[in-house]
Structure formats: structure tokens, C-alpha cells
Structure 1
Amino acid sequence: MTRRIPRVYGRGMGGVVEYDERWAEWFEQIRAAIPPGLVVEHVGSTAVPGLVAKPIIDVDVVVQTKREVAPAIDALAIAGWRHRGNQGIDGREAFDALRGLPPHHLYLVVEGSLPHRDHVDLRNRLREHPIDAARYGELKLELAPLLDTDRDAYLEGKAALITELLAAARAHPQLANGQAAED
């Protein structure tokens, strides 16, 4: 039986769609436009093979310290990104998508900050635990119609599961190579 995914375009390209292998290529196009010397990570649902997602690439530009935030904002501005502030999330600076690139959300975060850990821990949990990814995908499909009428309700509807998945990820920390961390 083929699953039919509703095409919900209430916010431009805001519908939830099946995984698209081009998303990795889209991320590479965005990465290539970011000034050299900045660390760039593909986060969000489009970074999880097989997971349904809104076709918008989430990108974290990661700096080592808070002192590096202002120079990184300047470098991104020179490259064409418009800084939008933290949009209510401390430790995360948001930028408008750069025209001419695939749809994306670009964020600047300090390595190890809560926003950075949230993005990376959730991505890694979903990549490493297919059952959790399937649960998350099903919830996103269930909530997708809200994107037409109430984006906040869509986000709130995902919050409890995201909190659960982050807690599970942090209860069993992994090293970068996927090995369990030693106690």
C-alpha cells in the first residue's frame, strides 16, 4: 500500500514530503556559499535519510566561542545573508535564506550550546534509531495539515516527542564515531 502524503503548501514550500536524496546535494550547494573557515553542519529532518520533512534544509554554522559570533555574523552578511537576530531562542542567531540557493534555514550557534546540542542530538538520534525516526515521521504527517492554518500548533505538537528523543539521546551519549562513550 502506498502512503499518500498530503501536499500542504500553506507557507510556501512548507508541506511535509517524502525524503528526497537531493537534499544532501542542496546542503552542499548551501555549504559552498558559506564563507571559508566556518564550520557547517546539516541538521533537521532533511539530514536524516528516509525521514519525511518540509523540503527546507536546516543548516548550523558553528563557532567555537561567543567571541566568534559577531565576526561570523559579519562574514555571513558580507556573503549575502541577512541577520534576523535570535528570534526568541538564546544562543541561536537566525538568517534569511540567501536567494539563488535551495530553500534553507541558516543558524549560527556556538559549539556545545543548547541550540547546537538540540540540533545535533536530535539529528543523530533519528539517524541511529529507525523506530524513533518512524515515530517522528508519523507524527509530522499527522500534524502536517496544521501548517496551512497554525504553524505554532504544528511545532507545539512535535514538542513532547522531541523532548523525549533528546532525553533518550542524552541518556546514552555517543562519540562522533558512533561508539558509546565510556563512563
Structure 2
Amino acid sequence: MTHKRRVIEVIPYNPEWKAEFEKIQEMIFSYIGDLILTIEHVGSTSVEGLSAKPIIDLDVVIESLDVLPSIIERLEQEGYEYEGNLGTEGREAFRRRYNDGCMKYHLYVCPKDGKGFLEHIAFRDYLRANESARKDYELLKIKLAETYRYDIDNYSLMKTEFVADVLNKTIYKVKDK
């Protein structure tokens, strides 16, 4: 019996990703809009011109975790499975249990002052504003996708140093050595 493994694919930027985000955003707002502050498009698909895995990352921003139980209940009614924080403090993950007609996406619920959300925004905004960093990150992602074609854990792990460097330049304000 053969084991099906997911292939890591980094493809050139697609302007349709913005429209897909807006479609998913509208759907999520219809479920929980009264409980949230906003929904942010984060991750590589949110950075114009950046090659990425074709998966939309969304951060649903909440005032505090006090509303999380209501969000879990409503999203479960709409076909989502609550997955907990998956090891990242301040970022609660949800997975769609069935195909909803949207491209693949990762849905996270984050408090507005949570580490996961603040880091996503800082990293996204830095890449949007810095063409050189955007190109360096793109080349790294392409190389890693080739090297770790069937190994998402190492693909992600090998991006850690680059991401940490950007976060140290932005929200953590660590000076270059």
C-alpha cells in the first residue's frame, strides 16, 4: 500500500489570493462578525509579489479570549473543528471539516494583543514594505520547498531563523550585531 504524502509547493504570487481572502472573510463575518474586531489576511499570500504555498492564512481578531467559547460554538455549528493553539500561544486554530468552495485556508482566532497576531502583522508588514527582504524570503521558501518537498515540519523549521530575524528588527527591536 502506498502512503500519500502532501507535496509542499511554493508558486508565484497570484492576485486572485486577495479575492479568495475577501470571500472567506465575508463568510467568517457572517458567522461571528458580532463577536470580533476584524479579520486580517496574514501569511505569504497576503504579500503582493511573494511566492507562497497556495493557502490563505486568516487571523480573526478578538478583544479578549472571553468570547472564544461563543466563537467555538458558532464555528462548530458551521462545520469547523476547534484544534486548540497547536503550540502557539495566543492563536487558536480551526479546521473546516468539509469543502466549502474556497481555496485551502488556515483560520486562527487571536486576541488583539496576542503574540501570534502581533507577530503575524509585524512580519507581513515588514515584507510588504521591504522588497529586498521579500525577495530573500521568497528564494528561501522556494529552496526549502525543493529540499523538504514532503516534510512540512522541516520546511517550517528552516524558515525560523529568517522569521526571527525580521521579528527582532520589528516588534522586538533587537539591534543588528
The one of 19, 22, 26 equivalent to 1:28 is 22
Q: Percent identity?
A: 33
TM-superposition CA deviations, 1:100-126 (whole Å, max 9, x none): 221100011111110011111100110
RMSD: 1.8
Please give the secondary structure, in 1, of the residue aligned with 2:121: helix
The one of 6, 13, 18 equivalent to 1:11 is 6
CA offset at residue 89 of structure 1?
Answer: 1.6
Please give the secondary structure, in 2, of the residue aligned with 1:62: strand
* Aligned residues between the structures: 163
Corresponding residue number in structure 2 for 1:44: 43
CA offset at residue 74 of structure 1?
Answer: 1.8
Question: TM-score, length-normalised on structure 2?
Answer: 0.85
Q: Distance in 2 between matches of 1:70 and 1:126?
A: 33
Corresponding residue number in structure 2 for 1:99: 99
Q: Distance in 2 between matches of 1:120 and 1:79?
A: 27
> Which of structure 1's runs of 4+ aligned residues deviate more than 6 A?
none
**Gaps spanning 5+ residues in structure 2: where?**
none
TM-superposition CA deviations, 1:35-91 (whole Å, max 9, x none): 223321100000000001000000011101121222222222222221111112222
1:117 partner letter: L
Farther off after superposition, 143-152 or 16-25: 143-152
Q: Distance in 1 between matches of 2:99 and 2:24?
A: 11
Corresponding residue number in structure 1 for 2:130: 129
Corresponding residue number in structure 2 for 1:169: 170
Question: TM-score, length-normalised on structure 1?
Answer: 0.83
Q: Distance in 2 between matches of 1:105 and 1:45?
A: 12
Residues 118-157 of structure 1 aligned to structure 2 (within 5 Å): 118-157=119-158
**Gaps spanning 5+ residues in structure 1: where?**
1-9, 173-183
Q: Distance in 1 between matches of 2:120 and 2:60?
A: 12
